[in-house]
Structure 1
Amino acid sequence: MTLEDQPARSATLRHAESDDDLRACWPVMQQLRPHIPSADDFIARVSRMRGQSYRLLAAWRGDTVLAMAGYRLQENLVYGRFLYLDDLVTHESARGEKWGARLIEAMVRTASEAGCVKLVLDTGLSNARAQRFYFREGLLSSAMRFNRPISATTAQETA
């Protein structure tokens, strides 16, 4: 059954806690993170990330996931206590139903309740559509992130 075929029931927000919940999240996450090769790999990664306070809040219509936000509560010297939004995605067939906005609002509430001073996320410089959405949701660009890929060869050369 596709999302379009399902009756117009109300959806609820709840965390994906079990492996079965994560498996239900996989088709949506795959749209955001196509480099993750399988549901089993996704579940293993989330299981490891839980040790770094990662949680996955999903919009559920019955057993079907419509959208999700992966996040973690963190603290550093730059921001103090903050909520980092790792992943935000809506299933392509549920786009336009305002799930991204609802999930960001839920993240703002979660951050506030946890005593955070900021909500932080990254998006690609070329992702203008996401940037417009974030601006509409009240998020402002305040930094530029730099990175350098590290390969096993590079790590061995510096040892």
Structure 2
Amino acid sequence: MDDSDASDVRELTTDAELDAAYPILRELREHLDRAEMEVAHERMREEGYRLFGRYDGSELVAVAGVTVDTNFYLGKHAFVHDLVTTESRRSEGHGSALLSFIHEWAGDRDCETVELESGLWREDAHRFYEDVGYEKYCYSFKYDLDAGE
């Protein structure tokens, strides 16, 4: 298989496709149970979230969730919220093929940039992102609103 070919990437929208995506997403988002994912996914889709999957034949091997937004520092951009290849299929080119698809998808929507965040502890992922051309340019901070209770 040509790993740079995005023809085996498609949007995941059916219950069966989400069922197949759930165990892969759990590798990245361990805190989610299936019911929570379903509720969140429905709300996220209403807000513009799109979930794409990379297939090897009939096997779903990688997923990525993306939104399009506009802000002052990036202009119109795609944001990759979730990108994960199932552990047994990593280092086979599926993640880079999925990102190539997202780059083209974002360009078709007049985006200027594709951005993503990655946890500080995910050093292997950071090397991967840099290898496929992403620039490490900022830190992301969060404040838990219920932390003071």
TM-score, scaled relative to structure 2: 0.89
Q: Residue 13 of structure 1: CA displacement?
A: 1.1
Structure 2 counterpart of 1:104: 99
Does residue 150 (structure 1) correspond to residue 111 (structure 2)? The answer is no
Structure 1 counterpart of 2:10: 14
Letter of the structure 1 residue corresponding to residue 8 of structure 2 = T
Structure 2 counterpart of 1:43: 38
Q: Residue 57 of structure 1: CA displacement?
A: 0.6
Letter of the structure 1 residue corresponding to residue 119 of structure 2 = G
Which structure has the higher relative contact order (CA within 8 Å, separation 6+)?
Answer: 2
From 59, 63, 70, the counterpart of 1:68: 63
Q: Which structure's CA Rg is the greater one?
A: 1
SS at match of 1:35: coil
Letter of the structure 2 residue corresponding to residue 116 of structure 1 = C
Write the deviation string for residues 30-64 of structure 1: whole angstroms up to 9, x where unpaired: 1010011x222212111100111100110124553
**Dislocated runs of 4+, deviation >3 Å:** 61-64
Letter of the structure 1 residue corresponding to residue 86 of structure 2 = H
TM-score, scaled relative to structure 1: 0.84
User: Aligned pairs, how many?
Assistant: 143
Structure 1 counterpart of 2:28: 32
SS at match of 1:14: strand
Q: Residue 152 of structure 1: CA displacement?
A: 7.9
SS at match of 2:46: helix
Does residue 55 (structure 1) correspond to residue 50 (structure 2)? The answer is yes
**Unaligned residue ranges in structure 1 (runs of 5+):** 1-10, 155-159
**Unaligned residue ranges in structure 2 (runs of 5+):** 1-6
The whole-number CA distance in structure 1 between the counterparts of 2:121 and 2:22 is: 25
SS at match of 2:100: helix
The whole-number CA distance in structure 1 between the counterparts of 2:39 and 2:28 is: 17
Q: Cα RMSD between the aligned structures?
A: 1.6
